[in-house]
Structure 1
Amino acid sequence: MPHGLVCAVCGGTAFSERTIIWDALAAEWELSAEERVLVDRQQGCHCEACGSNLRSIALAEAILAALGAEGTLHALIDSPAASGLALLELNEAGTLSPALRRLPGHRFGAWPEVDMQAMPFQDGSFDLVLHSDTLEHVPDPLRALQECRRVLRPGGALCFTVPTLPGRMTRSRAGMPPSYHGGPETGAEDYRVQTEFGADMWTWVLRAGFEAVTVTPFDYPNALAITGWRGRPVPLLRARADAETRARLAAVYASTSWRITGGLRAVARRLRGGGR
């Protein structure tokens, strides 16, 4: 059993493991023995309290970091700080989805009904966009990342996971035999793997136009989450608090009310040494 892990979703510390990768998928992916262990741990090692696997926990940690929040995702979701967030979840983000749906500003879109390559949302609609192990199924992943950036507000962030083998470079499966995630019996087209991502995954985020990218590991190298920033990487809740403070100060400075500005002028006189 894994030791020393703390679940960023619920705070649990007890973890169990199960085998996820079946032989046919390991052969299609051409996994070495070490890579198969890594993917099994990423997808199959899970918190006994909430069921989140390492991949989902890495995504939760990336969300917390993007927002500038401490504690667990469950605590954040139930806090007033998160109530005003406009969040787009593309496909269910694993075990995070039930908690995310409690946010008033939550919007859900399922791939492929919502085409990530041409999303039906206006520019700058969301503070945060999330997807988990979905991008590898999209025929044009670069276009999908560009669309994620388009629907983000300035200062917003995209947090996502994608199955990644750190010892390889990304390759397309075009021209190769079909390979499907989801289970050995799966053959649905939306489960078909279009791209196998490797250590250069972060470069795709920059190629899509994001101004910065950060990588959040959990139990490295077993699980990684990626955050693309539309603008300077400033935690969203801090940026919002700073903006609210600036707006309040601007209102005070612009006010002609003696009740408001009289006290400020008195303080300014004292600072200048003018007494009363």
Structure 2
Amino acid sequence: MRQFLGPCPVCGGSKLLQRDVLWSELFNSWQLSAAEISYIDRQQGYHCAQCFNNLRAMALAAAILCEYKFIGTLEQFCESRTAVSMLEINQAGNLTPFLQKMSLHKLVEYPQFDMIDLDIESESFDLVIHSDTLEHIANPERALSECYRVLRNGGKCIFTVPIVVDRLSRSRVGLPPSYHGRPGIPAADQVVYTEFGADAWKTVLGAGFMSCEIFSFEYPAALVLIARK
């Protein structure tokens, strides 16, 4: 399997580092194998030493650049693509400082904005992005239907969720609570409702999108979903 070695698609930095981020309580509750622990740790912990974006954020940046056929870094894209209106739902890693350089960028965050009932006018944006947010929503299909609603015709929702590629998605309803964030801190907004698997595309199409593409920045650690309206 091909591993991404740089440079960083966000800022162009060449120094990439790995740190372990998963903890035993989390990977035990998700019943992850050793191989799954390895690639999810890489997804969350492999990062650019210059802009501090991890592999999943770099993958999201690369998907945006590919979708808009832009040659260069995300920073350069944001400085030059002023005509793209973008809605960012919760901060997408450390991409936000770069995305805010776009004149038509809007950031909304929980709890002021609830993803299942966005207080935003329909057909307002060309692009909606979010990163590792959907698994924390009790009704992810409803949340994506809101992304669909606020997009103009032909618009795109580009996002990441942690995908365990060798299993199907499962709800954690009825299972002991599992949290992302930091070990030992059960923050209410970090509780996991859905563990996404190889059928994550079903949630996208169920929300009304015309198509769902899987963009592979690095398989299986860095996958991005591109939903088109």
Match of 1:210 in 2: 209
Is contact 2:4-2:218 (8 Å) kept? no
Q: Give 3-state SS (helix, strand or coil) of 1:56's partner.
A: helix
- What amino acid is aligned across from residue 131 of structure 1 in structure 2? H
- What amino acid is aligned across from residue 142 of structure 2 in structure 1? R
Unaligned stretches of 5+ residues in structure 1 = 231-276
Distance in 1, matches of 2:162 and 2:203, equals 14
Deviation of residue 3 (structure 1)?
6.6
Q: Any idea what the Cα deviations from partners look like across 1:66-102, whole Å, max 9, x if unmatched?
A: 22222110111111xx112211100000011111112
Residue 108, structure 1, aligned to residue 102, structure 2: no
Match of 1:268 in 2: none
TM-score, normalization: structure 2?
0.95
- What amino acid is aligned across from residue 199 of structure 1 in structure 2? A
Q: Give 3-state SS (helix, strand or coil) of 1:95's partner.
A: coil
Is contact 1:137-1:192 (8 Å) kept? yes
Distance in 2, matches of 1:104 and 1:30, equals 43
- What amino acid is aligned across from residue 178 of structure 1 in structure 2? P
The higher radius of gyration belongs to: 1
Unaligned stretches of 5+ residues in structure 2 = none
Bigger fraction of residues in helix: 1
Is contact 2:5-2:16 (8 Å) kept? no
Q: What is the number of residues matched between the two proteins? A: 227
Deviation of residue 112 (structure 1)?
3.4
Identical aligned residues as a percent: 47
Match of 2:218 in 1: 219
Distance in 2, matches of 1:129 and 1:23, equals 33
Distance in 1, matches of 2:202 and 2:139, equals 15
Distance in 2, matches of 1:6 and 1:229, equals 28
Distance in 1, matches of 2:217 and 2:144, equals 23
- What amino acid is aligned across from residue 202 of structure 1 in structure 2? W
Deviation of residue 13 (structure 1)?
2.8
Over aligned residue pairs, what C-alpha RMSD do you find?
A: 1.3
Q: Give 3-state SS (helix, strand or coil) of 1:149's partner.
A: helix
Report matched runs for 1:241-260 at 5 Å.
none
Residue 117, structure 1, aligned to residue 116, structure 2: yes
Distance in 2, matches of 1:201 and 1:114, equals 24
Task: Work out which structure has the larger RCO, using CA pairs closer than 8 Å and 6 or more positions apart in sequence.
Answer: 2
